Structure 1
Amino acid sequence: MSFRSDNKAYETWLATQCDVVKKDIIYKHKRMRKDPFIFLRATYFRWARKIGDWCPELMDAPQLLSIGDLHLENFGTWRDADGRLVWGVNDFDEAAVMPYVLDLVRLATSIHLASNPAVDPRLAVNAVLRGYREGLDDPQPALLFEGKSWLRRLAEPEGDKLKAFWEEVADYPKYAPPPAIAKALIASMPDGTDGKTLRLCRLLRKGGGSLGRPRYAAVGQWHGGHVLREAKALVPSAWSWANGAAEPEKSNFLTLANGRHRAPDPFLRVDHKFVFRRVAADAKKIELGADAGKKLQLKLVRAMGSDVASIHAAGSVPVKQLKADLAKRPRRWLNAAAEVAADKVKRDYREWRS
């Protein structure tokens, strides 16, 4: 089936799962024309449908609850229950049971598709795998004032970036979300939030693969500063859609987000088929931007691999079994699979642009 056919079928299905924001779908279609990296981010449904055909040698790997839509920009920061600043994977919209290696291959593919890479993509992918092995040996969260302090430069915006963040928030258009979502957003604000300044908003043009899903926010003043809460529609994983699997009765989002080797975000919850979270200048997804490749460092992608391992290590497959599967895979297997997948994604991208 052509990419365009799959895209149409997926969007038809999506409209049965949530109140699709048509303007965001149009915007998403335009963004998908920009470059293969953005195209990859926006089209997890196609990956889920085709990766087994593109790389059949991956499908015999042990299956566990995996991230699914993993890529270079699926990492961010949050504050844990003790107020510590934490970095790691922060979006589990597409979590589903699948061969664990698919998370590694999708991350590696995004590295191969990043424009203007500062390092050889093959070396970066090797660093991901090295970090993954280290993470299996010692799974733990990445705390930015302890073991991973060097990551703080990505997580702590200064000067113009801080100003730009709150200026963007100030421009959020007022909107009345569905009553249940509005009530939940207001309830998620801290006690004592100034009711006179509290406003409910609609967020447009936010996200990559999630563009088109309703997204709302509550913004207010509390003890001399801004507070922000966000709600994003949560639909079943595209993996279930693509593979004809039964849709789970309960989302897998929180299962991965609150895994035993993580320092969970206490503000993160799922209610009314929406994900609610606290957002702040230092608690958000880290976007590497149009020149993502230029910002890549071996140390950074190695940390990404380690964080993925900390998620997998809490799963249903023993770490010993994951290590045994890695050991039997041929040399360069991850780069080889990523190169094949990247070539297929580029082919779909060319079809879309044509």
Structure 2
Amino acid sequence: MTFQRDNAAFERWLRSQCKVVEADLAHKHERMQKDAFTFLRATFFRWARRIEKLCPKLKDAPAVLSVGDTHIENYGTWRDAEGRLVWGINDFDEAAIIPYPFDLVRLATSARLAPKARVAHRMAAATILEGYREGLAKPAPSLLDEEESWMRPYVVCTDEERRDFWHEVKDYPDAKPPPRVASALRGNLKKARLVRFASRVKGGGGLGRPRYVAIAQWRGGLIVREAKALVPSAWNWAHDLKGAPLFLKLATGEFRAPDPHLDMSDRFIIRRIAPDQRKLDLSNRTGPRLRLDLLWAMGFDLGAVHAATGGAKAKIERDLDGRKDGWLHGAAKVAAGDVRRDFEEWRKVRLPWTPDAATD
């Protein structure tokens, strides 16, 4: 099936799962024309449909509760219940039971496709795998106040970025969430005084799903919570599987130090948003050694996530020991080529979006 047909089929399914914001979906379509990396981020559904055909030698590997939509920009910071700054995977929308190698392949593929990559592809794959093995062996959250303090320069929030964040919050348009979502947001704010509800446009693959924010006043300043619509993983869509979203189970797993405000209510994810709750920023950091350090850390956190599946550690380690050197590099090369072909197809034949097209 062509990418265009898969995309149309997935979006029909998505409309059956939530009330799609068509203008945001149109924005996603435009973003998908930017480059192959942005396209990869927005199209996990296609990856889920294609990856087993592209890498058939990996599909029988041990299956674990997986991230699904793993990529180099799916990492960031948050505060845990002790106020500690934590770094790691911060989006589990596509969590599903998947053969473990496919999370690794998607992460290595994203490193290959990143526009400003400064690391040789083979070295990137080897470094990710090295970190992954360590994360399996010694799973733990990455705490930036202790062992991972070297990473703090990558995630520090500047005064300018803080100002930009609050200016953005000020500009969020007013909105009226569904009553149950509004109630969940109020409950998460506890004793804070609600100022207003608004809507928000963010993300890559999640564009099109409704997002609401609650802005409140608490002890001299503003605080913000977001509610984002959650649907079953596109892996389930691609494999015709049933089941509830697994987001919260993975995000609060055994080796995580989760955001205490993270919750799920009425098929919406509730979470804190703040200047220090942010994605890793690599835009001005180009040192190849540091870039390798970060890829190692990404692999480590992914290994810790997979280690939370009971009995998985030993099975994965045996499977890894039986694979030839360079397997991850080779799989990522094949996958990246397929993504690029889909990207070129999208750029060549996509028609301009119109409101009528959304119901075709």
TM-score normalised by length of structure 1? 0.95
Q: How many residues align?
A: 347
Q: Which runs of no fewer than 5 residues in structure 2 stay unpaired?
A: 349-360
CA distance in 1, matches of 2:281, 2:207: 15
Matches within 5 A, 1:11-26: 11-26=11-26
Amino acid at match of 2:196: R
Amino acid at match of 1:88: G
In 2, are the aligned partners of 1:124 and 1:297 still within 8 Å (CA)?
no
Amino acid at match of 1:211: L
Match of 1:332 in 2: 326
Partner SS state of residue 88, structure 1 = strand
Superposition RMSD in Å: 1.5
CA distance in 2, matches of 1:345, 1:299: 26
Please report how far the alpha carbon of residue 154 of structure 1 lies from its aligned counterpart in structure 2 after TM superposition.
2.5
Matches within 5 A, 1:251-262: 251-262=245-256
CA distance in 1, matches of 2:287, 2:27: 25
Partner SS state of residue 77, structure 2 = strand
Please report how far the alpha carbon of residue 228 of structure 1 lies from its aligned counterpart in structure 2 after TM superposition.
0.5
CA distance in 2, matches of 1:287, 1:271: 30
Amino acid at match of 2:206: S
Please report how far the alpha carbon of residue 65 of structure 1 lies from its aligned counterpart in structure 2 after TM superposition.
0.9
Q: Select the residue among 280, 290, 299 that pairs with 1:286.
A: 280
CA distance in 2, matches of 1:115, 1:265: 31
Please report how far the alpha carbon of residue 292 of structure 1 lies from its aligned counterpart in structure 2 after TM superposition.
9.2
In 2, are the aligned partners of 1:44 and 1:209 still within 8 Å (CA)?
yes
Partner SS state of residue 216, structure 2 = strand
CA distance in 2, matches of 1:101, 1:199: 44
Matches within 5 A, 1:1-354: 1-191=1-191, 193-195=192-194, 198-204=195-201, 206-245=202-241, 247-248=242-243, 250-286=244-280, 288=282, 297-354=291-348
CA distance in 2, matches of 1:94, 1:294: 31
Deviations 1:88-132 (A, max 9, x none): 011111111110010000000000000131222321221111101
CA distance in 2, matches of 1:287, 1:9: 34
Counting aligned pairs with the same residue, the percent is 52
Please report how far the alpha carbon of residue 220 of structure 1 lies from its aligned counterpart in structure 2 after TM superposition.
1.9
CA distance in 2, matches of 1:82, 1:94: 28
Partner SS state of residue 297, structure 1 = helix
CA distance in 1, matches of 2:39, 2:26: 14
Partner SS state of residue 16, structure 1 = helix
Please report how far the alpha carbon of residue 311 of structure 1 lies from its aligned counterpart in structure 2 after TM superposition.
0.6
Please report how far the alpha carbon of residue 190 of structure 1 lies from its aligned counterpart in structure 2 after TM superposition.
3.9
CA distance in 2, matches of 1:227, 1:294: 35
Query: 1:286/1:199 Cα in 2 relative to 1: closer, same or farther (>3 Å)?
Result: farther
CA distance in 1, matches of 2:285, 2:47: 21
In 1, are the aligned partners of 2:154 and 2:282 still within 8 Å (CA)?
no
Amino acid at match of 1:339: K
CA distance in 2, matches of 1:292, 1:66: 29
CA distance in 2, matches of 1:122, 1:190: 49
In 2, are the aligned partners of 1:70 and 1:106 still within 8 Å (CA)?
yes
Partner SS state of residue 13, structure 1 = helix
Please report how far the alpha carbon of residue 6 of structure 1 lies from its aligned counterpart in structure 2 after TM superposition.
0.1
Runs of 4+ in 1 over 4 A off after TM superposition: 291-296
CA distance in 1, matches of 2:9, 2:281: 29
CA distance in 1, matches of 2:236, 2:132: 26
In 1, are the aligned partners of 2:154 and 2:281 still within 8 Å (CA)?
no
Please report how far the alpha carbon of residue 223 of structure 1 lies from its aligned counterpart in structure 2 after TM superposition.
1.3
TM-score normalised by length of structure 2? 0.93
